[in-house]
């Protein structure tokens, strides 16, 4: 029987939320002992009763929430920068992106843009699987950026959202990847 040497990787999936980074991880220790981290850069924001409005659950950059006069600090770029500042080398970071969309039950079906009032999560507990999001894109029902002017019972696509009746689906990253 021959002896073979097997090589294994030691990795960890970690949060992209700053408060969790600071309180849950010894980043320098992880950087020293792990081959890489899987940075879970999704579910950074979704419907919550204290913040009942639509938003991106995996925004690439921080964005000023002008309707709510606050800035979201949760973003992919902020997370990567923060991990690097805490001592994780960029070459040890693997970025995890969402292959699903977050959905919202809208307060007003014709108001489906970013920051619109939401009553709760949409169908499927607020999650739309990637294959269903792709199916909506294949419908060829794209409309102008002024999608809020369209009928609420049709598929309406903007660079940030797909609206179907009173539900709203985030598809910003899919839009970015497709164009």
Least confident residue range of 8-12, 37-41, 119-123: 119-123
In a domain, 113, yes or no: yes
Structural domain harbouring 173: 99-179
How many domains, the chain?
2
86-112 residue pLDDT tens: 999 999 999 998 888 888 888 887 877
Taking residues 100-126, what's their average pLDDT? 82
Specify the pTM. 0.66
Residues 174 and 131 in one domain: yes
**Of 73, 97, 121, which one is at a domain's C-terminal end?**
97
**Of 97, 122, 152, which one is at a domain's C-terminal end?**
97
Residues 119 and 159 in one domain: yes
Residues 92 and 103 in one domain: no
In a domain, 1, yes or no: no
Residues 91 and 123 in one domain: no
38/15 Cα distance (integer angstroms): 9
Residues 37 and 116 in one domain: no
6/1 Cα distance (integer angstroms): 15
Residues 155 and 91 in one domain: no
What pLDDT is stored for residue 9 in this prediction?
A: 96
**Of 97, 115, 139, which one is at a domain's C-terminal end?**
97
Residues 6+ apart with CB under 8 A from 66: 115
What pLDDT is stored for residue 93 in this prediction?
A: 96
What pLDDT is stored for residue 149 in this prediction?
A: 32
């Amino acid at each position: 029987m021959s002896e073979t040497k097997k090589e294994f990787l030691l990795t960890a999936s970690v949060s992209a939320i700053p408060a969790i980074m600071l309180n849950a991880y010894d980043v320098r220790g992880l950087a020293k002992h792990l081959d890489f981290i899987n940075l879970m850069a999704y579910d950074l924001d979704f419907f919550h009763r204290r913040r009942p409005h639509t938003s991106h659950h995996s925004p690439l950059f921080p964005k000023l929430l002008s309707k709510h006069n606050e800035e979201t600090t949760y973003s992919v770029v902020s997370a990567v920068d923060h991990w690097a500042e805490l001592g994780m080398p960029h070459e040890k970071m693997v970025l995890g992106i969402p292959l699903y969309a977050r959905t919202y039950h809208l307060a007003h079906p014709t108001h489906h843009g970013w920051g619109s009032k939401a009553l709760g999560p949409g169908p499927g507990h607020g999650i739309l699987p990637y294959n269903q999001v792709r199916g909506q894109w294949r419908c060829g029902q794209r409309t102008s950026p002024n999608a809020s002017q369209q009928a609420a019972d049709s598929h309406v696509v903007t660079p940030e959202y797909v609206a179907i009746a009173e539900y709203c689906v985030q598809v910003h990253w899919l839009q970015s990847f497709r164009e």
